[in-house]
Amino acid sequence: MCQPEDVLPFETRDPALLRSLFARHPAASLYLWSDLVEPFFSRCRWFVTGDAALLWFGGLSEPSLQTTGDAGDAAELVDQLHAVLPQEAWIKVPPAHEPLFARHFTLTRRSELTVMLLDGPVPEVPGPVRRLAPGEPLEPLLELYSAYPGHFFEAASLEGNVYYVAEQDGRPVSIAGTHTAAPAEGVAVLGNIVTAPESRGQGLARRCVAAVARELDSLGCRLTGLHVDSTNAAAISCYRGLGFRARTALVQAWASPAGLPPV
């Protein structure tokens, strides 16, 4: 599908068009690329112009907006579409795209993220873990995530994803999963990784992350990565020890209507 240079941003549901764009920016496009399969694809709206794409994801209780590609083309997307986009949403964008959103939104709760991609086979990490299944009781999991403010885990997170937990005394104390898993695209994004405060320092997160990454590899995911807060040195060290390598940076922030006071 070709796009004339003078065409304004347009909405598309053409996976081939989106895939070709993401392949030019794989690290920055990790989330977007892995949303090209169900159950994620039907919860997305996609907008494209030139060498940039914007994803509006509505599959969780709070919408998210993500952009990838050329900053000039991304500016065209945001400037043309901001009035029809959600006025409150999480944004996750390359640093060069942050000012484009700041022109139209108030950005708060800002953090800088490092995108790490798996570079080679994951070592086997000894120790028991259990794969979660759809329909698992949510209460023990939500209790575990309560120690991790700002997490994005909710009931819908288990659908179409891969999660492993380490348990002590019959309750989950460490967990790792995928925000999106798309074996048909060969792409997956790990996330929602947390260990209960009293159980940290035992290598449990390393064990869970390794289990998730090894299953993704067995499913054919060859582009597997994660986003981690750039200030979280301990987590970055853990992921590096499993074979993940830093590839690019992103900015995450809460976007609200311009002119409102920060929250």
In degrees and rounded to multiples of 5, residue 9 shows phi and psi of: -50, 135
- Pair 134, 76 in one domain: no
pLDDT mean across residues, the chain: 93
Q: Are residues 95 and 124 in the same domain?
A: no
Asked if residue 238 and residue 135 are part of one domain, the reply reads: yes
Residue 2 lies in a domain: no
Question: 191 and 158 in one domain?
Answer: yes
Indicate whether 3 belongs to any domain. no
Instruction: Give me the number of domains the chain comprises.
Output: 2
CATH of the domain at 153: 3.40.630.30
- Domain assignment present for residue 68? The answer is yes
Q: Is residue 195 domain-shared with residue 215, that is, in the same domain?
A: yes
**106 and 19, same structural domain?**
yes
pLDDT tier for residue 135 given thresholds of 50, 70 and 90: confident
Q: Give the whole-angstrom CA distance, residue 75 versus residue 27.
A: 20
The answer to whether 65 and 85 have CB atoms below 8 angstroms apart is: yes
d(CA 93, CA 54): 10
Grade residue 4 by pLDDT with cuts at 50, 70 and 90: very low
Is 105 in the same domain as 126? no
Q: Indicate whether 147 and 106 sit together in one domain.
A: no
The alpha carbon torsion through 36, 38, 40, 43 (nearest 10 deg) reads: 100
Relative orientation angle of helices 233-241 and 204-218, to the nearest 10 degrees:
50
- Statement to judge: residues 129 and 80 lie in one domain: no
pLDDT tens-digit map of 206-243? 999 999 999 999 999 999 999 999 999 999 999 999 99
- Residue 148: give the domain boundaries: 120-242
53-94: per-residue pLDDT in tens?
999 999 888 999 999 999 999 999 999 999 999 999 999 999
Both 129 and 180 in one domain: the answer is: yes
SS (H, E, C) the chain: CCCCCCCCCEEECCHHHHHHHHHHCCCCCHHHHHCCCCCCHHHEEEEEECCEEEEEECCCCCCEEEEEECHHHHHHHHHHHCCCCCCCEEEEECHHHHHHHHCCEEEEEEEEEEEEEECCCCCCCCCCCEECCCCCCCHHHHHHHCCCCCCCCCHHHHCCCCCEEEEECCEEEEEEEEEEEECCCCEEEEEEEEECHHHCCCCHHHHHHHHHHHHHHHCCCCEEEEEEECCCHHHHHHHHHCCEEEEEEEEEEEEEECCCCCC
The answer as to whether 5 is a domain residue is no
Domain shared by 104 and 19, yes or no: yes
Q: Are residues 24 and 76 in the same domain?
A: yes
Does residue 263 belong to any structural domain of this protein? no
